[in-house]
Structure 1
Amino acid sequence: MADPNAGAEPTAVAETVLDTVAAVAPDVRAGLPGRRRYLDGENPSGEAVLAADVYADDLLESAIGDVAGVGSYASEERETTVDVGDGPVSVAVDPLDGSSNLKSNNPMGTVVAVYDAPLPASGRDLVAAGFVLYGPVTTMVAGVGAPGDAAIREFLVTDDGEREPLGDVDLPAEPTVYGFGGRVPDWPDDFAAYVDEIEDELKLRYGGAMIADVSQVLSYGGVFAYPALESAPDGKLRLLFEGNPVAYLVEGAGGQSSTGDGSILDREATGLHQRVPVYVGNGDLVERLEAALADS
């Protein structure tokens, strides 16, 4: 049988990757109830690992590794990339974003970033990004194309792993919600002052899973941040696995992203598990945040 991706453009490979992630999503979700225990050891970012993290990672590595055109697979749960083929496309995955929510039965998700370059790569090398949200229903938000050119769309992920289009995703012009990570005493003074300014304008929505919080912003407008912290000047989120794909999606939906000083997509990638401050949302809110940080 002919290889459907033989000689295909990176965007065609990316579409297949997104279809593959959707196909795996029901199995990831079905495997959660029996995998709520923590395992010994930590992941490369120094975080505790649930059995569900490893299960999701294994499923995704196996499935994505079978996609023709994909050359390497990288995961938050793995120290280095895995060579899975001869293709030019690299896939970076957070298999179970917000897995600490599993104990309390709150939402979590899977994040995927598809780069037309070896890792670590710039956000400008993205040819697709998306996330699956395991909420009351399973949905996917995704786009394919160069950053800024891709239409961002939402899909229902059916029980058999198919993607049913629900419509384009456009950030509402009138923002409603905000959600910020990190311990409040650990926030720098300039960021804390920005929070004081906007908390009278917006409603707090923060659930402890980045993808669930970003989904709130995409649905209602507003701003999400995991800021630079006094104890962690580079923040907590990983550039390749979280910062870049979220920036790609929010910017594609009409919003802005920032590291505090320019788009996340322009941050130079120097390491596989590199961290970055993440600020995304409506343009005026992100610009006000950048101004607050610049004035400090």
Structure 2
Amino acid sequence: MATEEKPTSTETASNETTITQILDVVARAAPEIRAGLPGRRIYAEQNNPSGETPMEADIYADEMLCERLGDLDGVGEYASEERQEVIDTGSGLSVCVDPLDGSSNLKPNNTLGTILAVYDAPLPAAGSDMVAAAYVLYGATTTMITAYDDTVTEYVVQDDGEYEAVREDVTLPEDPSVYGFGGRVPEWIDPFTEYVREVESDPSMKLRYGGSMIGDVNQVLTYGGIFAYPTLTDHPEGKLRVQFEGYPVGYILETAGGRSSDGEQSLMDVEKDGLHSRTPVYVGNEELIERLEAALDD
């Protein structure tokens, strides 16, 4: 795991420029990624590092982002869920992407997205090394949520790649109203099942789960609530990858005034040595996460 070093003022200014460029690249690539989806709704003839068979759209988005982000002078490393190893692109910040989160939703034409994590350290990095995170959501409109400089901002991305801020200083609503929990119900551990039943019994809470993690997280960021891909009896570490999903989602939700957890601690404090290591993920309003941790601790 990388160790944190305090940057100089010159390095900080350079990093700020690079982060702006990274976010710009991702936003401007979004319409092209979206336009390329209809003809890439079939499985590729290869497995990714997690043993899953990606869609051709996953590979398409990965190759585009690798080329464009890797071309930036301030990006030194590129990694994605679709690649076994880190790609050396020079010197500077490290970028992790999930090129197409929820790509299985292509077949039924449901929501999916792109997740970005930026670290000021070699990969695999620690949560404390994160300097920015973002996700693009391909829904009825294309939007991008960014967490940078202690602020969460929502942009609408136009078909020509132009993007405009529509919500600034985004925070979770104080009165949560949605929940979404992943994994097969028979494989949930008992304390989590009991917690879920408690949440379901609240008439103010509504189920919102669509099979795309970032789409479900966006529901929580919009309406308040909780999303979880929990510990499972057959997958104690859950399904989601720390570098590509756990850290960036935790960073965004915490920057927006919410909380994140692996069941015991903030996702930003999770320590894993592998690039593709996994973690349980719980994110949402502070009170809901506190109750969850208490339930899992019983």
1:189 alignment counterpart: 190
1:9 paired residue number: 14
The reply to whether residue 283 of structure 1 matches residue 286 of structure 2 is yes
Residue type of the alignment partner of 2:30: A
State yes or no: 1:222 paired with 2:236: no
- 1:122 maps to what in 2? 126
The equivalent residue for 1:264 is: 267
* Aligned length in residues: 286
**Aligned position for 2:171:** 170
From 101, 106, 110, the counterpart of 1:106: 110
Residue 60 of structure 2 corresponds to residue 55 of structure 1? yes
Tell me the TM-score normalized by structure 2: 0.94
- Written as runs of structure 1 = structure 2, the 5 A alignment for 1:249-260 is 249-260=252-263
**Which residue of 2 is the match for residue 73 of structure 1?**
78
Distance in 2, matches of 1:92 and 1:120, equals 9
1:24 to 21, 24, 29: 29
Q: How far apart in 1 are the matches of 2:158 and 2:72?
A: 21
Q: Distance in 2 between matches of 1:196 and 1:6?
A: 49
Q: How do 1:85-96 residues align onto structure 2 when only pairs under 5 Å count?
A: 85-87=90-92, 89-96=93-100
Secondary structure of 1:218 counterpart: helix
Residues 160-201 of structure 1, C-alpha deviation per residue, up to 9 Å, x if partnerless?
212200112110000000000000000000100000111122
**Which range moved further: 273-282 or 154-163?**
154-163
Counterpart for residue 292 of structure 1: 295
Residue 9 (structure 1) shift: 2.8
Deviation of 1:158 after TM superposition, in Å, equals: 1.2
SS of the equivalent of 2:54 reads: strand
Task: Please name the residue that 1:144 is paired with.
Answer: 148
CA–CA separation in structure 2 for the residues paired with 1:56 and 1:139: 17
Kindly indicate whether residue 208 of structure 2 is the aligned counterpart of residue 205 of structure 1.
yes
In the other structure, the counterpart of 1:180 is 181
Structure 2 residue 264 is matched with structure 1 residue 274: no
1:86, CA displacement in angstroms?
1.9
8 A Cα contact 1:11 1:127, kept in partner: no
Secondary structure class of the residue paired with 2:197: helix
How far apart in 2 are the matches of 1:20 and 1:260? 34
The CA deviation at 1:66 is 1.1
Secondary structure in 2 matching 1:38: coil
Equivalent in the alignment of 1:246: 249
Q: Distance in 2 between matches of 1:171 and 1:123?
A: 21
Q: Which whole-Å CA distance do the structure 2 matches of 1:6 and 1:257 have between them?
A: 29
The residue type equivalent to 1:291 in the other structure is A
Q: Which runs of 4+ in 1 moved over 4 A?
A: 5-8
Gaps of 5+ in 1: none
One-letter amino acid of the counterpart of residue 240, structure 1: Q
- What does residue 97 of structure 1 align with? 101
SS at match of 1:152: strand
Q: Give the superposed CA RMSD.
A: 1.2
Q: Which deviates more, 42-51 or 220-229? A: 42-51
The residue type paired with residue 262 of structure 1 is Q
Aligned to 2:3: none
* Residue identity opposite 1:157 in structure 2: V
Among 85, 88, 91, which residue is 1:83 paired with?
88
What per-residue deviation string (whole Å, max 9, x for no partner) do you get for residues 35-70 of structure 1?
001122311011111100000000000110111110
Partner letter of residue 129 of structure 1?
A
Counterpart Cα distance in 1 of 2:35 and 2:13: 33
**Conserved in 2, the CA contact under 8 Å of 1:217 and 1:224?**
yes
Residue equivalent to 1:153? 153
Could you tell me which runs of 5 or more consecutive residues in structure 2 were left unpaired when the two chains were aligned. Answer: 1-9
* 3-state SS of 1:11 partner: helix
CA distance in 2, matches of 1:189, 1:291: 13
CA distance in 2: counterparts of 1:35 and 1:76, whole angstroms:
18
- Residues 62 and 101 (structure 1 numbering): CA distance in 2 closer, same or farther, change over 3 Å? same
